[in-house]
Amino acid sequence: MADALLDVRRLSRRFAAVDALKAVDFSVQAGEIHALIGPNGAGKTTFIHHVSGALLPDSGSVHFAGRDVTRLSMHQRVRAGMARSYQITNVFLGLSALDNVVLAVQGRADAGSSFRFWRPVRDETALFDDARSYLDQVGLSSKTGVVAGQLSHGEQRALELAMALATRPQLLLLDEPMAGTGPEESARMVELIEHLARHVTILLVEHDMAAVFRLADRISVLVNGQLICSGTPDEVKNDAGVRRAYLGDHL
Amino acid sequence: MAFYRPASWQKPLSLLLLCAALALPSALAAFGQEFYIGFATRVLIFALAASSLNLVLGFGGMVSLGHAAFLGAGAYAAAICQQAGINEALLAFPAAMGIAGLFALVVGAISLRTRGVYFIMITLAFAQMAYYLFISARSWGGDDGLPLNGRMTLAGFSLADDAALFYAAAGLLALAMLFFGRLAEARFGRTLQAIRENETRMEALGYPVFRYRLVAFALGGAVAGLAGALLANLTGLASPNLLQWTQSGTLLVMVIIGGVGYLYGGVVGAAVLLLLEESLVGVTEHWHIILGLLLLAVVLFAPKGVAALFGKRRG
Amino acid sequence: MFQLILEQALNGLQFGLMLFLLAAGLTLVFGIMDCINLAHGSLYMVGAYFVAAATQAADSFWIGLAVGVAGAAILGLLLELALFRRLYQRDHLSQVLATFALILIANETVRAIWGPAALMLNPPEALAGPVEIGDFFYPAYRLLIIAFGIAIAGLLYLLVAKSRVGMWVRAGAANREMTEALGINVRGLFTAVFVFGAALCALAGGLLGPLLAVQVGMGESVLILAFVVIIIGGIGSIRGALVGSLIVGTVDTLGRALLPTLLRATLPADAASTLGPALASILIYLLMAGILFFKPQGLFPARA
């Protein structure tokens, strides 16, 4: 797996007396949609936090694009090409959709320093043009001027995605993008992710199994902080350990 | 809290106020009330100091309870400059800003590693440390403070005349407000406010949050240092009392009653508080009780400050 | 020299224990209610005035102490019911503003009632002299304070670490929502902790009264020291408050007593006389900065 885009080795983390992650080996190949599933409390969100840099592991390593990022902070990893969306919608509710994405564009290394004290942002047309293209990609081009707080839940989720995309990631970490969305909105989100996957590698954490099995190229299963299985959707479906973990649950 | 956006009336009103300020010394002189020029200068200087705290607190969301330390550092820097033979404000004031800013950079670098109640207490503790340092520094006058030998010159013009110092303070305040207004809408200000709203999100967009906070904190400290240098010129003394923590509390009170995060929150708050003080002192020597009760009323009934009350009335 | 060090070490212990009385209440209010109370020092000041006034009226230090502490507890109760209860849910900024206002009111009210001059509070006569241990003399009253401090610290430890109420308090400090969800009367608990903190303040104020002057503004300097203690020890941790208090008490006392001498031995006299007092007065702040640099949450963080 030398050419894996994301390569996690023997990642471990304890909270108080609880092993949240036990020597997890995990990798994502460039270009794939890799889904991480597992029962509630399995440690999925903890794992994502460790990949994105919100938390640091007790031991083990995280390599990204051939570089050891284990000790890098979250913003450094974002700059290195890793972006994430949040389980709970996490946009600036008081700003317009476009202004939200402008913030994301402005944070990018190639957009220049943000230690600029004089020129109003609204005069920087390049930022706005760029930001609009990401709203187009997620289907929000008609909502650019709408304050984020006024958008529907599904639209806010899409906006969240646009912001992540605007950082121009190589890898997109999506933490339950369907959470709290209705069936129609879910369907739209699945289409959107499919569309995005043409340009960017995706690590998807999701509870909606229909969506997972439709989207994922590979699936990994996390149970009690341990990775019990990793493979194609068919392999995972037929894995005895997975069946045991999920018995009577989703599958 | 919302992102800063100037109201349409803000620019004309600012210009109007500036003109009024320029006319004030002659108006006061015409009525034989020159005494109040000094008071008006004090209001302007504290407006500057409170506005510098507003950058930290209002736009940066950092509840600093040690801002007076930078005010005091600026005052001492100015007095020390004069001792060293530098009597020109064009040199001494930037030096005061530099010293105060550098001091703020160090304090910020340690304090900003913490959050919430910790941050409040640590900034307070650092300010207290500076206070004790100046009190025990005998070569700088210790308890008594460091007196100035008369006022400085600004670009060769003497500030000895009260009106001249008033104009200098008004001009510097106007420049600072212009700068803060531009900053709030520029990349840095937008970033700072976004960090105030949602730190984690900004981190996840690739922003080195700590660095932005630190720069804002140091910038606020530098401008407070400028206010301190002006204050030393006004009172003729760099006093350790300037660094007392009650002074930090007073600056905080000014920003809060003026309106946290409103561009002119610090200016309004400084004017309201000092006018209140000036009028209450005449009524009773125990005016602090009245002030305290008024502040409690503000907390309980007008939590967004006086500026917000006006804002509501305008719809 | 040894005598001096022993005496100063005892003084440091005594000061640290009194700081602990203040810091214990403060750290719990911070930890459980997430409320910053700048007026905690005012409770200490008002408590000392109560004790001094009651002692004068009753002509007995012990009655004065008991009455003063009870008075401060009642004041704490009234404050909690009338004001603090509304502040817990507010942001830190409102808490700072409100409690700053309380300081202004408290200082000025005390000045209006008792005047600007410091009050004298005499220790009980039986304890006025020194105690002789071998050839070492130490004031009996200070020894009593140390004994008192140790007893209360032990009591507090038992109360918080072993009793059921203490368990709730610790649970509340670690996770307020969860404690509430488990059906603990958090409101009543808050009131009790606040009142208890106020009583401890007055106790410290009353006990220290004969050693320091009872005067307006005495609360603020000690409040900031209590802050330093809590920062060092970790918010919400009684153990942290105890360790922090002892560190701050000893370092501050020993620093002030020994540092100038120490510097004089190593530096030119001129530099030593400038640097000594300055360094001694900021020693604990340097210590705090150092600890924070390595442990931003303090030595014993209550919350994981």
pLDDT at C10: 92
pLDDT at C180 over 80: no
Backbone conformation region of residue C130, classed left if phi is above 0, alpha if psi is from -120 to 50, else beta? beta
Which tops the pLDDT comparison, A11 or B315? A11
ipTM of the complex: 0.91
**How much is the average pLDDT of B44-56?**
98
| pTM for the full predicted model | 0.93
Q: Do B194 and A103 touch (CB under 8 A)?
A: yes
**A54: Cβ contacts below 8 Å, ≥ 6 apart:** A74, B200
Q: Please report which confidence band the pLDDT of residue A251 belongs to, taking 50, 70 and 90 as the band edges.
A: very low
Helical segments of chain B, H only: 10-30, 35-54, 68-83, 89-111, 116-136, 162-185, 187-197, 199-204, 209-235, 245-258, 265-283, 287-301, 305-313
Q: What is the pLDDT of residues A172-192, one digit of tens each?
A: 999 999 888 888 889 999 999
Q: Do A75 and B189 touch (CB under 8 A)?
A: no
Closest among B273, B240, B292 to B128, alpha carbons compared: B240
Q: Pick from A73, A77, A84, A92 the residue to mutate for testing the B interface (most B CBs within 10 Å).
A: A92
Q: Do C274 and B138 touch (CB under 8 A)?
A: yes
**B237: Cβ contacts below 8 Å, ≥ 6 apart:** B79, B145, B146, B147, B148
pLDDT at B309: 52
**How much is the average pLDDT of B240-266?**
92
Q: Do C100 and B260 touch (CB under 8 A)?
A: no
CA C26 to chain centre: 8
Looking at every residue in chain A, the average pLDDT score rounds to: 91
Q: What is the pLDDT of residues B151-169, one digit of tens each?
A: 999 999 999 999 999 999 9
B67 close to B92: Cβ distance less than 8 angstroms: no
Considering only the beta carbons, identify the residue of C92, C101, C224 that sits closest to B296: C101
Q: Name the minimum distance, in Å, from the CA of A179 to any CA of chain B.
A: 18
Q: Which amino acid is at A160?
A: E
Q: What is the pLDDT of residues B6-19, one digit of tens each?
A: 888 888 988 998 99
Q: Where are the domains of chain B?
A: 8-26+44-311
Which tops the pLDDT comparison, C30 or B236? B236
Q: Pick from B260, B288, B291 the residue to mutate for testing the C interface (most C CBs within 10 Å).
A: B288
Q: Do B139 and C274 touch (CB under 8 A)?
A: yes
Q: Does A108 touch chain B (CB under 8 A)?
A: yes
Q: Where are the domains of chain A?
A: 1-81+169-251, 94-168
**How much is the average pLDDT of C174-179?**
74
pLDDT at B187: 97
Q: Please report which confidence band the pLDDT of residue B305 belongs to, taking 50, 70 and 90 as the band edges.
A: low
Considering only the beta carbons, identify the residue of B3, B185, B207 that sits closest to A75: B207
Q: Which stretch of B132-141, C68-77, C165-174 has the lowest confidence by average pLDDT?
A: C165-174
A72 close to A27: Cβ distance less than 8 angstroms: no
Query: In terms of DSSP bridges, do strands A18-29 and A67-68 run parallel, antiparallel, or are they unpaired?
Result: unpaired
How many beta-carbon pairs below 8 A join chains A and B? 91
Q: Percent of chain A, pLDDT > 70?
A: 97
pLDDT at B306: 58
Q: How far apart, in whole angstroms, are the C-alpha atoms of residue B123 and residue B65?
A: 6
Q: Percent of chain A, pLDDT > 90?
A: 75
CA A36-A37-A39 angle, to 5 degrees, is 150
- Select the CATH number that applies to the domain covering C2-294 from these four: 1.10.3470, 1.10.287, 3.10.450, 2.40.128: 1.10.3470
Q: Please name the residue of chain C whose CA is at the shortest distance from the CA of residue B290.
A: C105
Which of C3-6's residues contact partners 24+ apart within 8 Å by CB, and which partners?
Answer: C3/C136, C4/C257, C4/C258, C5/C254, C5/C258, C6/C136
**How much is the average pLDDT of B211-228?**
98
Q: Which stretch of B169-183, C134-148, C180-194, C220-234 has the lowest confidence by average pLDDT?
A: C180-194
For domain A1-81+169-251, the CATH architecture is 3-Layer(aba) Sandwich (3.40)
pLDDT at A1 over 80: no
pLDDT at C136 over 80: yes
**How much is the average pLDDT of B91-114?**
96
Q: Does A117 touch chain B (CB under 8 A)?
A: yes
Q: Do C36 and B288 touch (CB under 8 A)?
A: no
pLDDT at B315: 27
pLDDT at B62 over 90: yes
Q: Please report which confidence band the pLDDT of residue B311 belongs to, taking 50, 70 and 90 as the band edges.
A: very low
Most confident among A236-245, B53-62, C186-195, C294-303 (mean pLDDT): B53-62
Q: Pick from B205, B207, B213 the residue to mutate for testing the A interface (most A CBs within 10 Å).
A: B205
Residues on chain B touching A114 (C-beta within 8 angstroms): 187-188, 191, 207, 212
Neighbours of chain C (3+ CB pairs under 8 A): B
Q: Pick from B196, B299, B301, B306 the residue to mutate for testing the C interface (most C CBs within 10 Å).
A: B299
Q: What is the pLDDT of residues B221-237, one digit of tens each?
A: 999 999 999 999 999 99
Residues on chain B touching A122 (C-beta within 8 angstroms): 185
Q: How far apart, in whole angstroms, are the C-alpha atoms of residue B297 and residue B303?
A: 9
pLDDT at C173 over 80: no
Structure-block tokens of residue C120: 């004298």
Q: How far apart, in whole angstroms, are the C-alpha atoms of residue B266 and residue B307?
A: 10
pLDDT at B210: 96
Neighbours of chain B (3+ CB pairs under 8 A): A, C
pLDDT at B313: 34
pLDDT at C70: 97
Q: What is the pLDDT of residues A190-226, one digit of tens each?
A: 999 999 999 999 999 998 899 999 999 999 999 989 9
- Residues of chain B whose beta carbon is less than 8 angstroms from a beta carbon of chain A are 1-3, 179, 182-183, 185-191, 194, 197-198, 200-209, 212, 215
Q: Name the minimum distance, in Å, from the CA of B286 to any CA of chain C.
A: 6
Q: Which stretch of B90-99, B110-119, C96-105 has the lowest confidence by average pLDDT?
A: B110-119
Q: Where are the domains of chain C?
A: 2-294
Structure-block tokens of residue A239: 């894995």
pLDDT at C303: 58
Q: What is the pLDDT of residues C250-284, one digit of tens each?
A: 999 998 888 888 888 888 877 777 777 788 888 99
